[in-house]
Structure 1
Amino acid sequence: MKPNLIIFDEPVFYTEGLSKLLTESRIFDVVNICNNQETLADHLNFQPPEFLMLGSNSIALTEMYKLVQELVSQHKNIKIIVIGNFYEVGDIRKLFEKGIKSYLDRTCGYNEFVKSIAALSSSLVYICDSAKERMMDFLSHKQVHQRHQIECLTKRETEVLKLICDGLSSKKICEKLFISINTVETHRKKILMKLNVKNSAGVVKYAMENHMIS
C-alpha cells in the first residue's frame, strides 16, 4: 500500500500543482492540501499520513520550530519534510534537532523531492544538495577561523596553553618557564581572549578539539 502525504503550504496554486504532480506519479495513495493550521490539525487527527511537508510560506521559522516539536510529540510516526527559503545552517540543524527528517530548499526540483521520499522510506534523513553546499562552506570558514585563532597565539602563549592543559597552576607555570606570575596571568587572559573561551576548562576543550595537544 502506498503512503499518504499532507502538504501544508501556501499559495494554493503551488500546492495544488504539486499535489497533482505527486498524485499522477503514483508515489502516494492520497495527497491532501492544508493552507491553515486548523485544517492541518483536522487531517492529522482524522487520518495521520506517513509524510508531512511543511512549507516556509505558510509559517514563520520561529513558529515552525514550535509546530515541528508539537507534531513530533503528538504523531511520532510521521516523517516531516521542511521546504525552506534557503535557511541558514544553524536553522536547519535546529529543525533536525526538533525532529524533521528532511530539508529541501524551495528551488529544489521534483527529482530531489523524490530522492528525499526514498531516503525517508528507508529510515534515513535527507538534506538537499544546495543546503549541503552551505553546510560545507560554513564548516570550511569555521575551520579557517579556528586556524587563524591558533596562529594568533605567540610561542610563549602556546607554551602556557600546553601547561594549562597539563593541569599546572599559574604558580607552577611561572616556576617552569622562569617568568613572573603576573606574566603568566597576562598570558592566560590573552589566550582566553584569542580562543574566545571563558576559563581553563574551555582552553583544554579547545586544544583537544583542534589537536593542539597529544
Structure 2
Amino acid sequence: MMKSRLTIFDEPMLYTEGLSKLLTQSNLFSTVDLCNSYEALQENLQDQSPEFLMISSNMLRLTDLYKNVEKITTENKNIKIIIIGNNYDIMDIRKLFNKGIKSYLDKNSRYDEFLKSIQALLSNEIYICDHAKEKMINFLNTDEKKQRFHMQDPLTKRELEILKLICDGLSSKDISERLFISINTVETHRKRILLKLNVKNSVGVVKYAIENHIID
C-alpha cells in the first residue's frame, strides 16, 4: 500500500519537529512536511497537495479557519483535513465538518487518538475525538431536556385538562360531552396542544405526559 503525505500547519517548531520524527518512524507517511506560516502552507499545497493536512487552532482564528478549510477543500478535492481545536464549542465543530474537515481532535487528545483518526481517514470515515463526542452527547441531552420542559407557550388550564382526557383515551365527542363544550372547540384545543408539544398525534401527547409526570 502506497504511503500518504502529511503536512502539519502548527507551531512551535520544537513540538512539530518531534511529532514529525515520531510519525516518520511509525511508517504511516512517506513524508511529513512542516509549515509554521500561512505563506509556507500555501506554497506546500500548490507544490504537491498532501493527502493529509493537520491544522492547529494556534495558527488561525476560528473565522479564518472556516474560510481556509472551505478554500483548501474546494481547491484540493482529495485532501483530508484534521483540526486540532482549542476546546471548540459543538456548533463550531459541526460547522468545521460542514466546511469539509474529516477529523477533529482537541488539544488534550493523546497520540493514540491521533493514530485512530488517521486509520479512520484511511478507511474513508470521519473521526471525532472522545472529548468532543462526550460534549456532543451532553449537549444533545441538555437540549432535549430544554425542549421537553421549557415550552415557549405553556399549556393553559383547559388544554391541560383536555390533555389528561386524551391520555385517558377519550374521543373528541367524549371530551365535548364531559366538559360541556362543542366538538369544534375540543378539536381546536387538540390542534393547539399538538402544536405546543411539537408532536404529531395522541401517542406523542401521551408520551409527553408520561415523561413530564403529568400522568402516571
TM range (shorter): 0.7 to 0.9
Higher radius of gyration, 1 or 2: 2
Question: What one-letter code is carried by the residue in structure 2 that aligns with 1:156?
Answer: R
Contact kept in structure 2, 1:84 and 1:106, CA below 8 Å:
yes
CA distance in 2: counterparts of 1:156 and 1:73, whole angstroms: 56
Q: Give the match for residue 131 of structure 2.
A: 130
Question: What one-letter code is carried by the residue in structure 2 that aligns with 1:111?
Answer: D
Contact kept in structure 2, 1:22 and 1:31, CA below 8 Å:
yes
Q: CA deviation at 1:212?
A: 4.3
Q: CA deviation at 1:107?
A: 1.2
Q: Give the match for residue 156 of structure 1.
A: 158
1:177 aligns with 2:178: no
Question: 5+ unaligned residues in a row in structure 1: which ranges?
Answer: 163-172, 192-199
Q: Give the match for residue 194 of structure 1.
A: none
SS in 1 for 2:150: helix
Question: What one-letter code is carried by the residue in structure 2 that aligns with 1:207?
Answer: V
- Divergent runs of 4+, >6 A: none
CA distance in 1: counterparts of 2:125 and 2:67, whole angstroms: 23
Q: Give the match for residue 30 of structure 2.
A: 29
Q: Give the match for residue 175 of structure 2.
A: none
Q: CA deviation at 1:155?
A: 5.4
Question: What one-letter code is carried by the residue in structure 2 that aligns with 1:108?
Answer: S
1:87/1:18 Cα in 2 relative to 1: closer, same or farther (>3 Å)?
Answer: same
SS in 2 for 1:207: coil
Question: What's the TM-score once normalised by structure 2's chain length?
Answer: 0.75
Question: What one-letter code is carried by the residue in structure 1 that aligns with 2:91?
Answer: G
Q: Percent identity?
A: 50
Contact kept in structure 2, 1:116 and 1:126, CA below 8 Å:
yes
Question: What one-letter code is carried by the residue in structure 1 that aligns with 2:36?
Answer: N
Q: CA deviation at 1:177?
A: 3.5
Q: CA deviation at 1:14?
A: 1.8
Contact kept in structure 2, 1:82 and 1:104, CA below 8 Å:
yes
Q: CA deviation at 1:175?
A: 4.1
Q: Give the match for residue 11 of structure 1.
A: 12
Q: CA deviation at 1:10?
A: 1.7
Contact kept in structure 2, 1:50 and 1:78, CA below 8 Å:
yes
Contact kept in structure 2, 1:207 and 1:213, CA below 8 Å:
no
Residue-pair matches, total: 184
1:18/1:205 Cα in 2 relative to 1: closer, same or farther (>3 Å)?
Answer: farther
Q: Give the match for residue 72 of structure 2.
A: 71
For 1:23-51, what per-residue CA distance to the aligned partner results, in whole angstroms no more than 9, with x for missing partners?
A: 11111110001111111111111111110
TM-align CA RMSD: 3.1
CA distance in 2: counterparts of 1:204 and 1:71, whole angstroms: 44
Q: CA deviation at 1:157?
A: 3.9
Contact kept in structure 2, 1:81 and 1:104, CA below 8 Å:
yes
Q: CA deviation at 1:211?
A: 4.0
Question: 5+ unaligned residues in a row in structure 2: which ranges?
Answer: 167-181, 208-216
